[in-house]
Structure 1
Amino acid sequence: MDNKLPTIKEIAKRLNVSVSTVSRALADHPRIGLRTKTRVQELAKELNYEPNAQAIFFKQRKTFVIGVILPYIREEFFSQAISGIEKAAMEHEYTILFGQSFDDPEREKKVVETMKKQRVDGLIISLSKQTQNYEHLQALEKFGIPVVYFDRVPPFEHAHKVYCNLFKGTVDMVNWLFGRGYKRIAIINGPEKLPATKERLNGYIEGFSKKKLKVDMQLVENTDLSKESTYRAVKSLLASKNPPTAIISFNDYVHMDAVQYAQQQNIQINKDLVFVSYANLPITSYTAHPPLVSIEQYPYGQGEKAMEIMISILNDKIEGKTGQQVVYYNEEMPATLVLNQQSLL
């Protein structure tokens, strides 16, 4: 049995027409008559003809593939984000090529290089927690590969970004705690080099400033996001002469580790010591002590918006608008306080 896939040449030979006529008929070109177009399309259907994707990509200089790099797919935040990315990609007939950095800058560079070799049309990325050098990403512009950052975005202006305003969200969170009588408010922040960490700290300081109070830096701790590091941060806070009555955790995973350590010290969660957090991930609703209040960061929406921006950039490229001065997309999404009713019971 001949298992060879049918080609345009075979269709042209059977119908005694030129290859270019078949190609145009399959593309529904207006210069091809209805009778010829119908004959070509019916035979193509009969032979189960499929267009040669590689040939089309070569002609259009596009692969219709977008690279996506995330720190960890196992984290619910990023799994939601990639669902939003994929949904928007499919709506525009793009597929995604996915990779993980595992929060390692060197691995991130290797994945970026792989994406480049695969000739992706664009790259969407949430940076690793230790990324400080962005040359491997900025270099993609030389190859005509646009980059859209989301959630963990770089600190410079000339970049396409989608992110939540965590500065304002943190100010609102501090204000919410003060309004309920919590004065000793601590924060377990993230890795010091991460821009999102600085954003949270600035919001934390601003929240105190609005109350005309100075921040007690003994109430500020950092974690590298590992359980051991978070344990050390909580231990340090609880050992202070005037321990906190409330703790803001960097994210819901840090929150769960912090609560676990506090429980080991026989502390009554959200009674002796209250916890609030970021991300509002559904997984916390399955825990005994979810955050009293959490900041919704809309990971699905961030991912979807990042892909929509990418499509707009690529469409501008097709229409020849890239020769004009580059306008960088800067999409700021709301950071909404969400009250957890279960924790208030």
Structure 2
Amino acid sequence: MENGGERFNWGKSLPVPSIQEIVKSDLHSVPERYVHENMDRPVISENLADSLEIPFIDFSSLAKGDEDEIKKLHLACKDWGFFQLINHGVKEELLEKMKAAASAFYELPLDEKNKYAKSENEIQGYGQNFVVSENQKLDWSDMIYLITVPSENRKYKFWPLTLPGFKETLEEYSREMQKVAEEIQANFSVLMGLERDGLKRLQGELKQGIRMNYYPICARPDIVLGISPHSDGTSFTLLLQDDQVTGLQIKHKDAWIPVKPVPNSLVVNVGDATEIQSNGMYKSIEHRGVTNEKKPRISIATFMFPDDEQEIGPLETMIDDQNHPKLYRNIKYVDFVREKFSRKMQGKSHTEFVKLYK
């Protein structure tokens, strides 16, 4: 169905050239518009980076209701906002097929990829999002973003349907991510003082969008960013990393920590909507992508989010006037997301306007 996604009028983004094509034509230069200011450049806190690792959560234990694992999930979301999910039950073969489908898309000639280019008033399609001015610094990455759940909100004009197996692989991957996400949502419900189906009853089925990112090699990885620091405007995000290349970094205690790929795992991070619903108990953490000189990198982010019309705000179970007063105002999800898409990626600046200052 073509028109279902029209209601996802979340914002607009200016068209920009494909960085993949820029690199193909000149491997050695970095155009000025991609050179980040000194303070924004990807310096890593080596002393911390080597000693810290984000927590691991065993999905199979969560699904059995293991109390220790649920406690570990609580601490991971509270202290880190990120965790590596292992034993999630998604077949390795499907994970590899999904990576191959994304790679096949980026191997298409530019004129073929451009058939799926996003328009300025559209967040779905091939290009970049969060480009709001002609003079902002750009990220060293291309992406294709597709709304996948519910199926009536898909816009197939942005799907490369001529690519053999792409649609079938993406649909199967989407179904599997939805199953994993439902179990995570049920556990978040319990942690926030509700029944397992509490969040589902409050906000309906989780919606889903999948973003396939391509980070080309870069002659000067020290002066560019693959993706600028930001937090996700989601309930939570499931990330499939490239096993061969470390590119994701998260901000932890004011240091940037690399998240080393663990084969067959998914990196899960708390999104802004969950931070708001948990009244700040669970943190939506800034993260970014960096590049390297030797190898391009692909990552696949599955965003899980409430319905546009759903109002999000701190749950009553997470408010205690004495010890944990309400920190955020209630807001319709679509209004929150439009605010996010009206800005360039800039840390957590988009969450400030929902905060209540006492």
Give the structure-2-normalised TM-score: 0.23
Structure with greater proportional helix content: 1
Give the structure-1-normalised TM-score: 0.24
Higher relative contact order (CA 8 A, sep 6+): 2
